Amino acid sequence: MTRSQNSPHDTSPGRGNAVEVRGLVKHYGTTKALDGVDLDVKEGTVLGVLGPNGAGKTTLVRCLSTLITPDAGSARVAGFDVLRQPRQLRRAIGLTGQYASVDEKLSGWENLYMIGRLLDLSRAAARKRADALLERFSLTESAKRPAAQYSGGMRRRLDLAASMIGNPQVLYLDEPTTGLDPRTRNEVWEEVRRMVADGATVLLTTQYMEEAEQLADELTVIDRGKVIAGGQVAELKAKVGGRTLQIRPSDPEQLHRMVGAVAQAGLEGVAGARADVAEGLVNVPIVSDEQLTALIGLLSERGFSISSIDTHLPSLDEVFLAITGRKTSDSELGQDNIKLEEVAA
């Protein structure tokens, strides 16, 4: 999956930060839910906070929403300090929590109207905003039905609409698509992209590598309350290892000869070419553009005809495995982060 659907947002250093977190700590008894987290989210961009169950994602979102008080550290959101300016901060943010927060007994319209009133909108303004958001999230037809009758995807959309009522500058989306089917997930992604196109800054937590890849400009990987890696998606992937060069010979019969030619050439740092017979590809792990150029040059010199070449970055699942030394689903098992220092350094 590529990020080509994304509009690449401006993540240049000159831009202001909508969220700045320094040394944030939150302990629950002996559990270090947040253990000194630093992160920045530049205005108008999406930061993906990636981490397995129990990593501390929801705790981070709760601290940044002023729902809980950190034990140490500081955080500013939209210029407001979480500890000293909680009221102003709350007015600047929208939150879609991990668990749907709509009132089931109320209709979609009533849910949105109620939140508008809670945010001090006049009756007329709250009504207008509810209508507009239902329209935007394709819920107008179901506006009068109780939310209890909504499907999972409709609830999520209503949740997103609810978090937009106050026109927030900064939106927190805590695992917005967990449990949704792929079609509904895509709908939610589309909405998030629209919010960002309209100027919102988004802090998105997710356990899905694909989601981070689809939506995020930058990524922060957290595990057991600590940031273990960060950067742009491609940077993070590159950090973990090289790319795989995929070469398709015009004649599939030549797969094994091509593998042999790469092996015999003895190019520096190039080893382990493999034939993927089912796909008709030769896969070669590489770490530099020079290797790519040298390989292709060599193969054409030897008279191979090539129908396509492609380079493939490791998936984010592979990235997580490489950083933590374990799969994303193993978080609670208490294994050591064997490769942590090497990669995070």
Ligand X SMILES: Nc1ncnc2c1ncn2[C@@H]1O[C@H](COP(=O)(O)OP(=O)(O)OP(=O)(O)O)[C@@H](O)[C@H]1O
Contacts of 177 (CB under 8 A, 6+ apart): 156, 184, 185, 188, 189, 206, 208, 211
Q: Does 254 bind Mg ion (CB under 5 A)?
A: no
Residues 45 and 18: their CA atoms lie apart, in Å, by: 9
Shortest reach from residue 31's CB to ligand X, in Å: 5
Per CB under 6 A, the list member of 44, 56, 166, 230 interacting with ligand X is 56
Binding of ligand X by 167 (CB under 6 A):
no
Q: Residue 316: CB partners within 8 Å, gap ≥ 6?
A: 50, 209, 210, 212, 213, 233, 236, 237
Please choose, out of 54-62, 160-168, 180-188, 193-201, the segment that lies near Mg ion by the rule CB under 5 A. Answer: 54-62
Tell me the angle at which helices 152-164 and 182-197 cross, rounded to the nearest 10 degrees: 10
Q: Is 98 in the site for Mg ion (CB under 5 A)?
A: yes
Distance of CA 145 to the CA centre of its chain: 32
- Residue closer to ligand X by CB (options 33, 47) is 33
Q: Segment near Mg ion (CB under 5 A), from 43-51, 56-64, 277-285, 319-327?
A: 56-64
Task: Name all contacts of 325-331 with Cβ < 8 Å and 24+ positions apart.
Answer: 328/52, 328/207, 328/209, 329/52, 329/53, 330/52, 331/51, 331/52, 331/53, 331/54, 331/55, 331/223, 331/224
> Please, which residue, 49 or 255, has the CB nearer to Mg ion?
49
For residue 207, CA distances in Å to 58, 189, 317, 326 come to: 12, 15, 10, 14
Closest distance to Mg ion from the beta carbon of 206 (Å): 10
**By CB under 6 A, which span of 26-34, 101-109, 189-197, 247-255 interacts with ligand X?**
26-34
Helix axes 152-164, 123-136, angle to 10 degrees: 140
Residue selected from 37, 40, 59, 328 as contacting ligand X according to rule CB under 6 A: 59
User: Which stretch, 50-58, 243-251, 264-272, 317-325, contacts ligand X (CB under 6 A)?
Assistant: 50-58
- By C-beta, is 52 or 249 nearer to Mg ion? 52
Alpha carbon 249 to its chain centroid, in Å, reads 35
Tokens for 57, please give them. 């994602």
Tokens of 304: 């191979």
* CB of 225 or CB of 249, closer to ligand X: 225
Residue closer to ligand X, measured from CB, 59 or 107: 59
111 makes contact with ligand X (CB under 6 A): no
Identified binder of ligand X from the candidate list 54, 242, 280, 285, rule CB under 6 A: 54
Q: Is 226 in the site for ligand X (CB under 6 A)?
A: no
Among 1, 7, 22, 28, binds ligand X (CB under 6 A): 28
Q: Is 207 in the site for ligand X (CB under 6 A)?
A: yes
Residue ranges in 76-105 that form contacts with ligand X under rule CB under 6 A = 98
Point out which residues bind Mg ion (CB under 5 A): 57-58, 98
